[in-house]
Structure 1
Amino acid sequence: MNEKVFVRVVDSGARAMEEIHALHRQGYLPEDIFVLAHDKDHTQYLAGAADVNTVTVEEEGFIQSIANWFRSRGDELRAKLESMGCTPREAEVYEAEMDRGKVIVMARVRASNRVV
C-alpha cells in the first residue's frame, strides 16, 4: 500500500468512538477510517456503531484474506495491520496492545482528507 496510515491505540470502545468522531471533524471520510480489536465481534460492533470500516479483502487482497482463515487471530491481525501500511514491527506492537484489550483506530491519510 502506498498510502500513509494514521494509527491510534485507545483503551476502550468508548474512547475509539471519540477518536473516530475527532477524525470525522478533521475531514476524514467514513470509508477511510478503520477499527480493529482482538475480538472479531467487538471489531464488528464498533465498526457498525461508528459507521466505519473493518479491514476487508479490498485492503488485504484476496490471497491474504484466504490465508487468514488458517492463521491464529494474532497472525491475522498483524497481516491486516501490514495490509494497511504498518511495518511488520509496528504490526507486532499494535497486536500486542490488542492482546491487552486495547482498540486500534486507523485512518488512511490522503490529500482529500484535509479540511481546508
Structure 2
Amino acid sequence: MDSIRTQAYAKLLENGIQAIEEVNRLLGSGYTRDDIYVISHNEDREGRIVDAADTNEVGLQEEGLFGAIANMFRSRGDALRNKITSLGFSAAEAAFYEKELDLGKVLVIAKKNLH
C-alpha cells in the first residue's frame, strides 16, 4: 500500500444512526460516496447502514480476488480484519477495530486516493 498516495480515516461509532451522520459529515468535508466504507460485525446490520447511507461495503476492488475468495472460508472476525487491512490499516489497527466491532460498534472508514 502506497501511503503517500492514500489518506485513510477511521471512526468507531455506537450505532447506525451515528454512522450515517458520520458518512454525511465526511461527504460535506470533501469525500465522495465511493471513498467511504461502513463495516459492522453483523452483516445484515452492515447492509442496512450501507443502504441507508448510500455508501460502500469493502469488496472485490479493495480486497482483490484472492482476499475476497479467502474471506469466504474465514471466520467473520478474520474476514473483517482482512477487509480493514485492505483499506490501508496495519494488522494491529485491524485487530483493535475488529474487537470494537465485536462489542457492537460500527466502523466508518474514508479512504481517498490521491492521483
The TM-score with structure 1 as length reference comes to 0.92
The CA distance in 2 between the partners of 1:23 and 1:99, in whole Å, is 24
Number of the residue aligned with 1:17: 20
The reply on whether 1:103 has 2:106 as its aligned counterpart is yes
Moved over 6 A (4+): none
Deviation readout 1:11-38 (Å, 9 max, x if unpaired): 1101001100100110110000000000
Per-residue deviation, 1:109 = 3.0
Q: Which residue of 1 aligns with 2:88?
A: 85
Q: 1:111: how far off?
A: 4.6
1:69 is matched with 72
Inter-partner Cα distance in structure 1 for 2:12 and 2:65: 27
**Identity between Structure 1 and Structure 2 (%):** 41
- Compute the displacement of 1:4 (Å): 2.5
Unaligned 5+ segments in structure 2 are none
CA deviation profile, 1:29-57 (whole Å, cap 9, x unmatched)? 00000000001111111111111000001
How many residues matched? 112
Match of 1:57 among 60, 66, 70: 60
Say if 1:63 and 1:111 are closer, same or farther in 2 by CA, change over 3 A: closer
One-letter code aligned to 2:44:
D
Name the SS for the 1:7 alignment partner: strand
Task: Assess, with a 3 A threshold, how the Cα gap between structure 1 residues 24 and 88 changes in structure 2: closer, same or farther.
Answer: same
Per the normalisation by structure 2, the TM-score is: 0.93
- Correspondence for 2:29: 26
C-alpha RMSD over aligned residues: 1.2
Give the match's secondary structure for 1:34.
strand
Letter in 1 for 2:70: A
